[in-house]
Amino acid sequence: MRESVSYAIHDGIAVVTIDSPPVNAMDQTMRAGLKKTFIALRGQSEVKAIVLACVGKTFVAGADIKEFDTGIAEPGYHEVLRLIEDSAVPVVAAVHGTALGGGVEITLACHYRVAHAGARFGLPELSLGIIPGAGGTQRLPRAVALEVALDMMLTGKPLAAGKALEAGLVDAVTEGEIVPAAIGFARELVQKGAGPRRTREQAVKGAAQAGELLTAKRAQMAKTMRNRLAPLALIDAVQAAVTLDFDQGLQVESSLSAQLEQATEARALRHLFYAEREVRKIPGLARDIAPRAVARVGIVGSGTMGGGIAMCCVNAAIPVTLVDATQQNLERGLATIRKNYQRSVERGSLKAEQMEQRLALITPSLDFGALAQADLIIEAVFENLTLKKEIFAKLDAVAKPGAILGTNTSTLDIDEIAAVTRRPQDVIGLHFFSPANVMQLLEIVQAGRTAPDVVVTALELAKRIKKTGVVAKVCYGFIGNRMMDPYGREAERCVLEGATPAEVDSALEQWGMAMGILAVYDMAGVDIGHLTRLERAHLLPKDPSFYRPSAMLCERGWIGQKAGRGYYRYDGAERNRTPDPEVIAMLADEARRLDIPQRHPDATEIQQRCLYAMINEGALLLEEGIALRASDIDVVYTAGYGFPRYRGGPMFYADTLGLKTVYEGILAFQKTLDPQYWQPAPLLKKLALSGSSFAQWQAEQTK
């Protein structure tokens, strides 16, 4: 096997080099290499100091995440890090790129740290449902103030080199080449006669205020990280650093880590880590298909969506031509973009000159002809098929050959839109989520005739603009909105059966959804879904209770936050949602009129009905080939719909429940609720009855 650790001695300084592409993840081979190297260096009297550096784009980006699935092989992290820390001569970490997780922990086992100015130090373990498990919870509070250490570990936000210097995490920052700088630093140590400075021998910084700080953080985590195990375990581990000696603290960290690593929370988050990288690999699409060059993007429509998409592009330094029908629309659109950037400037996350640079990349125009230079044109106008077809016919006339024509439709038939052009192979769905400059998800919809390199280009664009692109095929609502339909249907039905809107939303939020669906409707506008349903009425169930609450609200003009009332009232300066007795009475009257039995579904029933309905639809999407993988659905829902990451997405969640449980749940609802909605998807039935799972099915499909 290829060695990933080597060393060379330069005039008394040993430079240990880690080389394990792509991100120097600390796998078993690397640990074994480090062990062998540090043992070998022990016996070499000419070595006066050691520099530990990495080649490639980054310092160690953490533990090898895959190893948590199989169990951590020997030599373990503690053994290797202890060997480094025990070195009799000073060890200097030379950090460039991103030192993450175990990467930071190695630097803490080194005695000194020198960083490149562009380096960043982060502990993202909580995002994987674990805690730093290679001594990080014990060493970090000994290297930097307890509060800084806790913040780094609880937020996962990386510290830039400059900030790391201020915090005392690094000893020197260089603008120049990192390895020579670290060698220079090591030489100075030798000249000064400075020996090893072992982190474990330092006192915890700020231990005196620890009690109050830890109590406050515990309360904060219980509130902001509901249903999670790892954040509270992390605080327990840090508490151990404060109250116990180093070795005892390390034991506490180890035992907490072992429990967390195999818990559902960590398995779910690892699943998403892989799933979010898997989405870029499209089955059946050759890996060597080159994307088309996208040097300029054209956007049609400067409303909320078009403006947000323009911001995504210019944030990634891609120039934009923004076209709208009237000067007034354009001006309003540009003003909104400026206002959004202005807010970032006020918050300090963007410099004023960066704002101006980005705005300067947007060329507004009233003329479709201005789009002739664009390599990709994204239409972002009102969700109306006739209008979109008209626009695509115009785009076809002006766009240069090979330009990609994208539509931001969230529900419409892209094959129909493509058919009005002479280049259906260049047409694709690019479904951004609102606000487009904030939301992570981009649904990439491959229509029947979309060319493979157009799909590859869309995936590449997603990466450039820092979005998670997920490929879907054409159907009403694609992956995300199609699965929302039955989920929302059940929520709406529950309020007709006697649960209040607040009870429905709170059941979903307690379970972990970022926002209850009825509150989401209020936020987005209850009328949006209602208008779509009116247009598709001929395709919908002939059930008078189907989405009836939304229809009633729209009939009264109570269309959500923009009207000051919807499922809830939004009064007062804060515009917080408060229950609306009039709406509750309206729903009760309607239930009587429709003769709907008042079951008063409790939180568990609400959760099961909404989620099982969603999962069942997901199974249908898999059978129909709309979603390519179960894990793609999980990415769509966690990146775009506020589904809790720690539950892994709807399909992973179904697997954790056991598909038999979901299947039997659906059969039970078939008996007590409207059977037309409770028909198990054939795939779900098949997998449930054979004791399989979506994950297993996916593995078999991709074999």
User: Would you please indicate which residues are annotated as catalytic (active-site) residues?
Assistant: 105, 125
Give the position of tokens 């330009």.
403
309 and 381 in contact (C-beta within 8 Å)?
A: no
Among 20, 98, 411, 468, binds ligand 3H9 (CB under 6 A): 98
3-state secondary structure of 263: coil
Q: What is the Cβ-side half-sphere exposure of residue 103, based on CA atoms within 13 angstroms?
A: 29
Closer of 270 and 489 to ligand 3H9 (Cβ)? 270
Among the residue ranges 96-104, 192-200, 522-530, 673-681, the one whose residues contact ligand 3H9 (CB under 6 A)? 96-104
25 near ligand 3H9, rule: CB under 6 A: yes
What are the start-end ranges of the E strands in 333-489? 362-365, 376-379, 404-407, 427-432, 441-446, 468-473
* Cβ 462 to ligand 3H9 shortest distance, Å: 12
Q: Which of 529, 509, 525, 603 has its CA nearest to residue 570? A: 525
* Cβ 64 to ligand 3H9 shortest distance, Å: 4
Q: Which residues contact 266 (CB under 8 A, 6 or more apart)?
A: 68, 128, 129, 130, 230, 260
135 near ligand 3H9, rule: CB under 6 A: no
Among 129, 133, 566, 618, binds ligand 3H9 (CB under 6 A): 133
Q: At what angle do helices 146-155 and 230-243 cross, to 10 degrees?
A: 160
190 φ, ψ (degrees, to nearest 5): -65, -45
Write each residue from 136 to 175 as x if it is in contact with ligand 3H9 (CB under 6 A), else as -, in one continuous string.
x---------------------------------------
Write each residue from 235 to 264 as x if it is in contact with ligand 3H9 (CB under 6 A), else as -, in one continuous string.
------------------------------
277 near ligand 3H9, rule: CB under 6 A: yes
Closer of 81 and 615 to ligand 3H9 (Cβ)? 81
* Cβ 58 to ligand 3H9 shortest distance, Å: 6
Q: At what angle do helices 548-555 and 480-496 cross, to 10 degrees?
A: 80
Closer of 20 and 407 to ligand 3H9 (Cβ)? 20
* Cβ 128 to ligand 3H9 shortest distance, Å: 5
Residue 199 pairs in a beta bridge with: none
Among the residue ranges 94-102, 230-238, 315-323, 536-544, the one whose residues contact ligand 3H9 (CB under 6 A)? 94-102
Closer of 27 and 426 to ligand 3H9 (Cβ)? 27
Could you write out the DSSP letters of every residue in 565-630? BSSEE--TTT---EE-HHHHHHHHHHHHHHT-------HHHHHHHHHHHHHHHHHHHHHHTSBS-H
- Distance CA(11)–CA(540), nearest Å, equals 79
- Distance CA(364)–CA(308), nearest Å, equals 14
132 near ligand 3H9, rule: CB under 6 A: yes
What letter does residue 26 receive in the DSSP assignment? B
* Residue 529: exposure state from Cβ atoms within 10 A (0-12, 13-18, ≥19): buried
* Cβ 217 to ligand 3H9 shortest distance, Å: 19
Closer of 51 and 275 to ligand 3H9 (Cβ)? 275
* Cβ 437 to ligand 3H9 shortest distance, Å: 20
* Cβ 413 to ligand 3H9 shortest distance, Å: 33
Among the residue ranges 120-128, 425-433, 497-505, 574-582, the one whose residues contact ligand 3H9 (CB under 6 A)? 120-128
* Cβ 105 to ligand 3H9 shortest distance, Å: 6
If one counts every other C-beta atom within 10 angstroms of the C-beta of residue 534, the result is: 12
196 near ligand 3H9, rule: CB under 6 A: no
Closer of 118 and 564 to ligand 3H9 (Cβ)? 118
Closer of 95 and 508 to ligand 3H9 (Cβ)? 95
Write each residue from 99 to 118 as x if it is in contact with ligand 3H9 (CB under 6 A), else as -, in one continuous string.
-xxx--x-------------
650 near ligand 3H9, rule: CB under 6 A: no
Write each residue from 30 to 59 as x if it is in contact with ligand 3H9 (CB under 6 A), else as -, in one continuous string.
----------------------------x-
Closer of 125 and 379 to ligand 3H9 (Cβ)? 125
C-alpha distances in Å from residue 75, one per residue of 100, 246, 258: 20, 21, 16
Closer of 61 and 474 to ligand 3H9 (Cβ)? 61
134 near ligand 3H9, rule: CB under 6 A: yes
* Cβ 278 to ligand 3H9 shortest distance, Å: 7
Tokens of 158: 């990386």
Among the residue ranges 8-16, 20-28, 112-120, 665-673, the one whose residues contact ligand 3H9 (CB under 6 A)? 20-28
3-state secondary structure of 29: helix
Residue 479 pairs in a beta bridge with: none
Among 85, 125, 490, 503, binds ligand 3H9 (CB under 6 A): 125
Q: Which of 392, 436, 391 has its CA nearest to residue 410? A: 436
440 φ, ψ (degrees, to nearest 5): -80, -25
Closer of 124 and 301 to ligand 3H9 (Cβ)? 124
Among 124, 306, 406, 529, binds ligand 3H9 (CB under 6 A): 124
What are the start-end ranges of the E strands in 155-200? 159-160, 172-174
* Cβ 148 to ligand 3H9 shortest distance, Å: 18
* Cβ 63 to ligand 3H9 shortest distance, Å: 3
What letter does residue 228 receive in the DSSP assignment? -
Write each residue from 394 to 433 as x if it is in contact with ligand 3H9 (CB under 6 A), else as -, in one continuous string.
----------------------------------------
C-alpha distances in Å from residue 531, one per residue of 414, 525, 566: 19, 11, 15
366 and 327 in contact (C-beta within 8 Å)?
A: yes
Using CB under 6 A, count the residues that bind ligand 3H9: 24
C-alpha distances in Å from residue 116, one per residue of 16, 52, 98, 112, 122: 17, 14, 10, 14, 15
Closer of 25 and 110 to ligand 3H9 (Cβ)? 25
Among 128, 279, 436, 520, binds ligand 3H9 (CB under 6 A): 128
Q: Which of 122, 117, 89, 77 has its CA nearest to residue 261? A: 77
Which is it for the CA torsion 107, 108, 112, 115, positive or negative?
positive
17 φ, ψ (degrees, to nearest 5): -120, 125
Tokens of 513: 């959804």
Closer of 22 and 401 to ligand 3H9 (Cβ)? 22
Among the residue ranges 2-10, 121-129, 419-427, 595-603, the one whose residues contact ligand 3H9 (CB under 6 A)? 121-129
Write each residue from 58 to 87 as x if it is in contact with ligand 3H9 (CB under 6 A), else as -, in one continuous string.
x--xxxxxx----------x----------
* Cβ 178 to ligand 3H9 shortest distance, Å: 17
Query: How many residues are recorded in the chain?
Result: 703
What is the CA angle 11-12-14, rounded to 5?
Answer: 100
* Cβ 103 to ligand 3H9 shortest distance, Å: 7
Closer of 97 and 640 to ligand 3H9 (Cβ)? 97
- Distance CA(106)–CA(116), nearest Å, equals 16
**For binding to ligand 3H9 (CB under 6 A), which residues are involved?**
22-23, 25, 58, 61-66, 77, 98, 100-102, 105, 124-125, 128, 132-134, 136, 277
